[in-house]
A = this chain, B = another copy of it.
């Protein structure tokens, strides 16, 4: 093959909010396959908030990206060549370990088969992939929604949030969406959220949460940290569960400590439980959760909005869009 592999590499670690200058495109030779690997050609690339942590200089829960290294990221890709018995050219797979590039050589044992009968290809990056699995498994393990619980979801139209709200309804809860525009909230209402709060338009977010949650917040699915977190923590019901899933509002100040009001007395008074959640700890639950999500989707109980940009050139912009709430729905890039 004489084709070249376009790759986005990290040009420099961002200081604050990432911008286009942090990334550089390079053309490289196609990787040589080793025994057990397959060569994939990307069809859909994913950008996800956790990648902000990986390009920080600070230690984090996953190995960071070094300067000059290809950006990490998930993809749905097609097998072009295979040295693994389970995979043949034309097969489709999803993997978190693909990277922002046209081609990657990946371990055939670590791939998820994409079954187009269960949903569109890019669903493996959204409601049948990491965001959907995160929503369902975190709600099961930490959220433990009971009939009538009030469930507040930040970044509610985002990749994780939209699934959280719909599952909250399926589990018998009342779902309160917090998002950055009326358009997003209108859609949240369409898919089943009971109430919507536009955090950019509320002069008193704490009062808005109190108004939307008259008996307090039983479950808070926190995708953002920041001011939404603060407003919800002032409205906890006794026994509240708080899932710390993302901190995207800190994307522009990642290198600095997050200063503000602490809520230890609120946690004590409410006997609240706050827990950090990372989907990669729960590989053993993926298959069952994915089947459940596919079932709900096929029954019309789970809708999903995807925000599609075209061309690998768009990757840095797509990433910046999710950090600045410019996307609407799960952000993917079609290659």
Residues of chain A touching chain B, judged by Cβ–Cβ distance below 8 Å, are 53, 59-61, 222, 225, 229, 244-247, 250, 257-265, 267-278, 281
Contact = CB atoms under 8 A, between A and B. Distances in A.
Contact of A262 (B61, B258, B267): B258
Max chain B C-beta neighbours (<10 A), residue from A229, A250, A262, A263: A262
Nearest to A256: B261
Contact of A271 (B247, B260, B263, B276): B276
Nearest to A225: B264
A170 B53 CA distance: 39
Contact of A258 (B53, B229, B265): B265
Contacts of A270: 61, 276
A311 to B, nearest CB: 32
Contacts of A260: 259, 262
Contact of A261 (B53, B229, B257, B267): B257
Given A259-B259, A260-B259, A273-B273, A265 B278 contact: no
**What is the oligomeric copy number?**
2
A59 to B, nearest CB: 8
A269 B229 contact: no
A269 B60 contact: yes
A258 B263 CA distance: 7
21 contacts: A53-B265, A53-B269, A61-B269, A61-B270, A61-B271, A222-B264, A225-B262, A225-B264, A244-B268, A245-B268, A247-B268, A258-B261, A258-B265, A259-B260, A259-B261, A261-B262, A262-B262, A268-B277, A271-B276, A271-B281, A273-B275
Given A61-B271, A250-B265, 6 more contacts: A53-B269, A61-B268, A225-B265, A259-B261, A267-B275, A268-B277
Nearest to A246: B268
Contacts of A247: 264-265, 268
A143 to B, nearest CB: 13
A57 B69 CA distance: 56
A49 to B, nearest CB: 11
Contacts of A222: 264
Contact of A273 (B61, B262, B274, B281): B274
Contacts of A271: 61, 275-278, 281
B281 A276 contact: no
Contacts of A262: 225, 258-262
Contacts of A250: 264-265
Contacts of A59: 269
Contacts of A53: 265, 269
Contacts of A281: 271
A272 B281 CA distance: 12
A229 B264 CA distance: 10
A272 B269 contact: no
B272 A272 contact: no
